[in-house]
Amino acid sequence: MFNKIIKKFTKSDQETTSTVNTVVRSSRPPTTATTVPTPNGESQSTAPSPSQTPNQPMFTTPPSLEVLPLLKDVSSSDRPLLFMKKAHMCSCQCDFSDSLIMPREKEIKRQTLLELVDFLHSSSGKVNETMQSELIRMVSANIFRPLPPAHYENTGAPPEGNDPEEEEPYLEPWWPHLQLIYELLLRYVVSSEIEPRTAKKFINHTFVSKLLDLFDSEDPREREYLKTVLHRIYGKFIFHRPFIRCSIYNIFYKYLYETERCVGIGELLEILGSVINGFTVPMREEHVLYLVKAILPLHKSKSISIYHQQLSYCVTQFVEKDYKLADTVIRGLLKYWPLTNCNKEVLFLGELEEVLDVTEPSEFQHSVVPLFTKIGKCLNSSHFQVAERALFLWNNEHIVGLISENKDVIFPIIFEALERNMKGHWNQAVHGLSENVRRMFMEMDTELFEECEKRHAENEAKACKLLEQREMTWKRLEEAASLASN
């Protein structure tokens, strides 16, 4: 009786153990290929099931660099598993602080990354969902890392005293591997074999947000790859577009009001320039709000020279897309116009010319008075480059046409500035350009020119009379003071 009870419990334990093992095996992702018979009666190995949960790691053991067979040397059914093994292996980090450390492992990883890039680029590079999961996991393990501090943070010098244009750019020592990983990510994103509906499980908001954080990298080569990758993601993954735009604007806010660290702003503006070019007309209120709150305030930065070309392109794109934004842009430029920085003032004048070149006459009228009041001050600048750049505006035929249509308002504002240059500016080039503009005004409307000349002469006479009265008043005060002292 006792033996029967023992046998019963033993049999029950075996069934329980078998059930547990079955559950564990079914819940664990497959790590080896299985063998199935072919129609010819031969056995053939198959790859792991692509229905595996994409967020679960394929391999639980730490990666190690070892030589594996080439993908082209194995059968098509074995390639998915080998691809994932290679991707997992490339998650291993190499020490680039010394060229003598891990030379063999570095070369193995480099050759493996090259092979993966070629595989994605080739027509036979079919990548299922499980393979994509392991690939993006490897890319994340390599590129998402703590970035080194900026140059001024290492030296302890204030950021205001460092000119980013004069500093030597920091270059990542492990760029030989990092470049291939970015190339691999780029090939993955642009591949026509990758469906956006599948890839969005891996290229999600978290991934894009971390990608945007990497624009703080000091290495210009990395930022160039990031710009290309993010632009491709924006084009392919339509559902990510609002998030990417909002995240870029948040980076601008952070730069303007918190860090003043301008690394990567130029690349982000390049992306934004292409994005603005695709906006529909009429412009949505959201886009106009970001123009006013995030893009135009970038003009007030001390480091604007680093990204001004890209910023000017973005601003001009807004006006080209919606001509009604011309007044908003011009008044925004006047709001952030520099007072003491002459080099920055030259940049503003160049951007102003680009904006005016695409401005419609109906919108130009709204900001004529404040605009040419500012231009008049620039004409009389003691810095010859500022005065010269302002006078160059009259070389633009479209701007001359706008001025001609509003000459009744513009002539009286500009005439006095031109007369001051003719009489007293120290630079001969500015003197000659002022004379040319003055002659152009006279040819446009002789009657208005004579009226302005007469009014200027009256103003000069009044100014001389006031000066004489002031001198007489001071003379009387001096006489009264001398009598009081006696």
135 pLDDT more than 90: yes
CB of 58 closer than 8 Å to CB of 73: no
> pLDDT grade, residue 313 (50/70/90)?
very high
Judge whether 132 and 194 are in contact, CB under 8 Å. yes
Average pLDDT over residues 140-164: 68
Q: What is the mean pLDDT of residues 341-354?
A: 96
Whether residue 299 has pLDDT greater than 60 = yes
Tokens coding 208: 């894009």
Other C-beta atoms closer than 10 Å to the C-beta of 144 total: 13
Quick one: which H or E segment has residue 192?
Answer: none
User: What tokens were used for 88?
Assistant: 């997992």
Q: Give the tokens for residue 348.
A: 């503003």
Integer-rounded Cα Rg, in Å, for the chain is 35
pLDDT of residue 164: 54
Of 124 and 155, more confident: 124
Q: Which of 10, 209, 180 is nearest to 86 (CA)?
A: 180
Nearest Cα neighbor of 164 from 175, 154, 150 is: 150
In sequence order, which residues have a C-beta less than 8 Å from that of residue 132 and are 6 or more positions away?
A: 54, 188, 194, 198, 199, 202
- For residue 1, the model assigns a pLDDT of 40
Distance CA 230, CA 264 (A): 13
Question: How large is the average pLDDT for residues 293-307?
Answer: 94
For the chain, give the mean pLDDT: 84
Rounded-to-integer distance, Cα 102 and Cα 281, Å: 57
Q: Is the pLDDT of residue 468 over 80?
A: yes
Is the torsion defined by CA of 212, 317, 390, 457 positive or negative? negative
Question: Residue 372, Cβ neighbours under 10 Å: how many?
Answer: 22
Cα dihedral 395, 398, 404, 407 in deg (nearest 10):
-80
pLDDT given at position 355: 97
The region of weakest confidence among 169-178, 295-304, 339-348, 422-431 is 169-178
Q: What is the pLDDT of residue 358?
A: 95
Where are the alpha helices (H) located in 90-174, listed in sequence order? 103-121, 129-143, 151-155
* 240 close to 233: Cβ distance less than 8 angstroms: yes
- Asked whether the CA dihedral 365, 366, 370, 375 is positive or negative, the reply is negative
DSSP structural state of residue 255: I
In which band, very low, low, confident or very high, does the pLDDT at 122 lie, cut at 50, 70 and 90? confident
- Cα–Cα distance, 99 to 314 (Å, whole number): 43
Residue with the larger pLDDT of the pair 129 and 10: 129
Q: pLDDT digit string (tens) for 50-66? A: 334 445 566 656 666 77
Cβ neighbours of residue 423 closer than 8 Å, sequence gap 6 or more: none
